[in-house]
Amino acid sequence: MKAFKTEKYNDFTKPAIRQKMEKALAMTRSAFGKEYSIIIGGKKIKLDNKFHSYNPSKKGEIIGTFQKADENTAEQAMQAALETYQSWQYTPAKVRANCLFKIANIMRRRRFELDAWMVHEVGKNWIEADADVAEAIDFCDYYGLEALRYDKGATLYTYPGEINKTVYIPLGVGTVIPPWNFPLAILVGMTTASFVSGNTVILKPSSDSPVIAAKFMEIVEEAKVPVGVVNFLSGPGAIAGDYLVRHPKTRFIAFTGSKGVGLRIIEQAGKAQPGQIWIKRVVAEMGGKDLIIVDSEADIDSAVAGVRTSAFGFQGQKCSACSRLILDDKVYDEFMRKFIPTVEAIKVGPTENQENWMGPVINESAYNSILEYIKIGASEGRLACGGEPAGGNGWFIRPTVITDIEAKDRIFQEEIFGPVLAVTRARNYDHAVALANDSEYGLTGAVYTRNRAKLERAKREVNVGNLYLNRKCTGALVGIQPFGGFNMSGTDSKAGGPDYLLLFLQAKSLTEFIGKKNAVKKAPKKQARTRVKPKRRKTAKKRR
């Protein structure tokens, strides 16, 4: 069995790597406008009602056309998943894990293609897109190995006259609802964790990134995952998604998205439906209002670089993105003097061009919402830079920094999910920690300081699921930094960690009585042998 290691990122400064990416961008662009089917039990289905996926870098440009699933289609998917589950639940873990290893290898081969689709469909820059694919590969390898580990069962103490085991068995049919901001990594992570555990899946991707989800389904088919294990259902969550969340045969829901939608799912899943014989399990990651503290004893240059990347990587459209910067009063002026020029130097534009580090926000609704929050923030504090559209024919917004923000202000408390950073002045380290914890969220945070005692205090007191010390607050690695948050950030499901597959399994304790008479007895100690000299036989003397 191979040991797990994270996938390396591509180096786009190398001409050969850059050329492969440019070729993939051209190839995928030539496939714009293709129509994709719903896939249920291996059958490809087209419906009368359709919708489009659009390029956020070029308003109105259609990336792909999709079927708008309804409740009837969702029911078909449920029945297919239920039927397949009858056999898939007993499929050996080694076979299930091997499906994930095959998927990982296919993604390695199609890596530049997948990178390119993310550049087109969600506006990721080349590095962010490649990191997304690398994380998806890591999830496959890691969860495949984890499935083999769980297949061994739990380690128990022994008891005379009995054979005792605890085994882990699947739950049933699950609905997976991934987000658009990590359209491959999170989708792959939640889906593969579900079916490698022996469950079957109804995958309902975001309507903002269905092409990437469709490409994953192509890979699932290429890896020869049995039909019906993963069923692909495109369409609005309010129709197909709500129906499946309430369905009495749904055993679990894995969701990543906004707090409002997540709480609605938890509420609906908590109501037992006629014919439902279990308590539905909900795995939910619901966003954050993440922070970075820069202490008076911090390395300012390192902190400037970390905050810039954390706040504006992928246009701030990460649940882990830094949206609250808490600066100690003693370093406030120095930090801002160094920080603002680095923000103003960020190039914004279509990310097909590698020189553009920041691309568009995902759609018109997000664009309008972010600009409205900028107006609110400017009225609450002082606009230091950005604060306006970046021009072009896409949903581009300049990276925005708003200073003099207080804890009571809306942009300090509410998730914006865009390139907007609220800066707050702390009187001292005590005040900084208090500000950090003044939030209903608790996903990620970072603390920059050279003071060891302050770092140890942060470990104890800063209430987030992922805390980083003297580094940026984004970029968790599978198997190294298990990811998930506290409070309204979700169920702290710790994706990419050793506990994650337990969310898709249930423990079954097995005891077999064999009785004392039939109990395995210890072998008796070997007695030392005593050497007995054999008696000499009397023989007649030979006559001479």
Residue with tokens 């990347």: 309
**Cβ atoms within 10 Å of 380's Cβ, excluding its own:** 17
Report residue 419 CA to chain centroid gap.
21
DSSP string, 14-64: SHHHHHHHHHHHHHHHTTTTEE--EEETTEEE--S-EEEEE-TTSTT-EEE
Q: What angle (nearest 5°) sits at the alpha carbon of residue 210, between those of residues 204 and 212?
A: 115
State whether residue 335 is helix, strand or coil: helix
**Rounded distance between C-alpha atoms, residue 180 and residue 256, angstroms:** 9
Contacts of 168 (CB under 8 A, 6+ apart): 150, 151, 153, 154, 197, 501, 502, 505, 506, 507, 508
Q: Which two tokens stand for residue 448?
A: 């920059």
Q: What is the DSSP letter of 314?
A: G
* Encoded tokens for 55: 């390029």
Active site residue 285: yes
How far, CA to CA in Å, does 61 sit from each of 207, 288, 368, 462, 480?
Answer: 15, 31, 19, 44, 39
Give the Cα separation of 128 and 134 in Å (integer).
10
Residue type, 298: A
Q: Please state whether beta strands 290-294 and 444-448 pair in parallel, antiparallel, or not at all (unpaired).
A: parallel
Task: Determine how many CB atoms are found less than 10 A away from the CB of residue 484.
Answer: 23
Cα dihedral 286, 292, 293, 297 in deg (nearest 10):
150
Note if 319 is an active site residue.
Answer: yes
Catalytic residue among 7, 128, 135, 285: 285
Among 140, 319, 322, 473, the one annotated catalytic: 319
Closest CA to 211 of 66, 391, 397, 359: 66
User: Any idea of the CA torsion for 480, 254, 110, 349, to the nearest 10 degrees?
Assistant: -90
Strands (E) across 94-249 are located at: 162-170, 173-177, 200-203, 230-232
List residues bridging with 292 in a β-sheet. 325, 446
Instruction: Write out the two tokens for 313.
Output: 């990587």
Q: CA 437 → CA 291, 353, 484, 487, 536, distances in Å?
A: 9, 39, 17, 11, 95
Active site (catalytic) residues: 285, 319
